[in-house]
């Protein structure tokens, strides 16, 4: 089996992508999705979050929700809003957000290579979230949420992508958030074969975002293999929908923290305690860290610049030397008493796309007692953790821009 292969994509009909594409299912609440899809009958949220078409309060994991998603999916197919390409293709997908742009390949990625860790992971998954994606895939008999992958840049792939994108895109849409989504269909056999060969020569790929979607695809593939005595390994379900970007184009934003209280400490005692592991300097303006090991702290209307003391940085462990780990192990756990940030309700996480003003707002409102601004995790650090077979702490990476749902889907027959 190849690491990736082309597939006959299911796409919006010509001129209809703007009516269809939607944010990923897991970045909007049900109510946010309901508002976003209002008056937009063909928006993909009717498939990815179909509880919006059922009475308020409906359990989003109920059988009725998955059945509604299937009904909405079939309606879009019947009405010709979505159509399937006649032959397997690769697709070139470009995202533009402000001055940043990244261009990748839409492909079907090998489940066996995911299972063997050639497609490498860096996060734990939750069984309930896996179950949800398994049921969604089975209900639609399709994969509609792409997994976001990255690879170490390949000159060969760059050259092919550049040649494809010289022409006009087959779909070109600017979404509500200002992000531009452009798609080119790659149908030439010579280019398809060259892309397949270039990726087969790579030692591995890395999951950036989509651990639950890839884990669900693996479970679906295993179940269908068990149920099919004539299984060959070439069935579409043995591959999962992915968009794959080179590492030099990836953009990771900061993933910041806010905490409800100071663990019974006064401001003076709190600052004194954190001074053991950090240098602490008051600042007159917002502190956006400029390098690894530097942090911003905001509380009681005052910003502080924190720098971890060098002797506190582990020399070799790829997880413990991450900024999220340094903050957790030297401040959040020992001083604020939050040992398990995955489950403790006293801590929350704020994606860097919201800016430092959001940190100030959460504290100034009285909802939170303090906020921490972090330097973004690097793609190299993420790869190092995955290469070591380790797992990153929760909420370590915030990738922007986000992929759109509905631009290309993979049908599993």
Q: Is 172 exposed, middle or buried (0-12, 13-18, 19+ CB in 10 A)?
A: middle
| Average pLDDT over all residues of the chain | 96
Sign of the Cα torsion 267, 270, 275, 280 reads negative
Q: 255-375 belongs to which CATH class?
A: alpha beta
Give me the residue spans of the domains in the chain. 4-251+400-411, 255-375
* Residues 126 and 213: beta-carbon distance below 8 Å: no
Query: How does pLDDT run across 200-234, given as a tens digit for each residue?
Result: 999 999 999 999 999 999 999 999 999 999 999 99
Q: Which residues contact 120 (CB under 8 A, 6 or more apart)?
A: 204, 205, 206, 207, 383, 386, 387
Q: What is the pLDDT of residue 377?
A: 96
Give this prediction's pTM. Answer: 0.93
Percent of the chain with pLDDT over 70: 100
Please give the pLDDT value at position 358. Answer: 97
pLDDT of residue 316: 87
How many residues does this entry show for the chain?
413
394 pLDDT tier (thresholds 50, 70, 90): confident
């Amino acid at each position: 089996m190849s690491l990736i292969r082309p597939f006959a994509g299911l796409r919006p009909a010509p001129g209809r992508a703007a009516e269809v594409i939607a944010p990923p299912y897991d970045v909007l609440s049900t109510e946010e999705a309901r508002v976003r899809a209002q008056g937009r009958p063909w928006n993909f949220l009717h498939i990815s979050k179909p509880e919006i078409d059922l009475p308020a309060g409906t359990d989003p994991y109920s059988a009725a929700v998955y059945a509604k998603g299937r009904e909405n999916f079939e309606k879009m197919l019947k009405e010709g809003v979505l159509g399937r390409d006649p032959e397997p293709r690769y697709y070139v997908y470009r995202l533009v957000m402000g001055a940043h742009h990244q261009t990748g390949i839409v492909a079907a990625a090998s489940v066996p290579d995911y299972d063997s860790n050639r497609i490498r992971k860096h996060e734990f998954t939750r069984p309930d979230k896996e179950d949800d994606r398994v049921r969604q895939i089975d209900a639609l008999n399709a994969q509609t949420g792409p997994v976001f992958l990255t690879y170490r840049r390949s000159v060969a792939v760059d050259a092919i992508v550049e040649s494809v994108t010289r022409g006009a895109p087959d779909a070109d849409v600017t979404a509500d958030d200002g992000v531009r989504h452009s798609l080119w269909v790659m149908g030439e056999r010579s280019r398809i074969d060259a892309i397949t060969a270039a990726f087969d020569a790579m030692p591995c790929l890395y999951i950036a975002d989509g651990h639950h979607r890839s884990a669900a695809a693996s479970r679906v593939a295993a179940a269908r293999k068990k149920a099919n005595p004539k299984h060959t390994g070439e069935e579409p379900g043995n591959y999962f929908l992915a968009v794959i970007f080179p590492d030099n184009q990836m953009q990771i934003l900061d993933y910041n923290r806010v905490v409800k209280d100071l663990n019974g400490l006064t401001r003076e005692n709190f600052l004194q305690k954190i001074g053991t592991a950090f240098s602490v300097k008051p600042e007159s303006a917002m502190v956006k860290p400029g390098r690894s090991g530097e942090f911003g702290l905001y509380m009681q209307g005052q910003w502080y610049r924190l720098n971890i003391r060098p002797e506190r940085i582990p020399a070799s462990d790829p997880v413990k030397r991450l900024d999220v780990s340094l903050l957790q192990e030297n401040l959040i756990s020992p001083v604020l008493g939050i040992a398990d940030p995955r489950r403790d309700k006293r801590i929350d996480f704020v994606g860097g796309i919201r800016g430092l003003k959001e940190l100030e707002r959460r504290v100034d409102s009285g909802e939170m007692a303090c906020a921490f601004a972090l330097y973004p995790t690097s793609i190299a650090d993420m790869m190092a953790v995955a290469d070591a077979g380790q797992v990153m702490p929760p909420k370590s990476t915030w990738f922007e821009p986000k992929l759109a749902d509905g631009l290309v889907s993979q049908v599993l027959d």
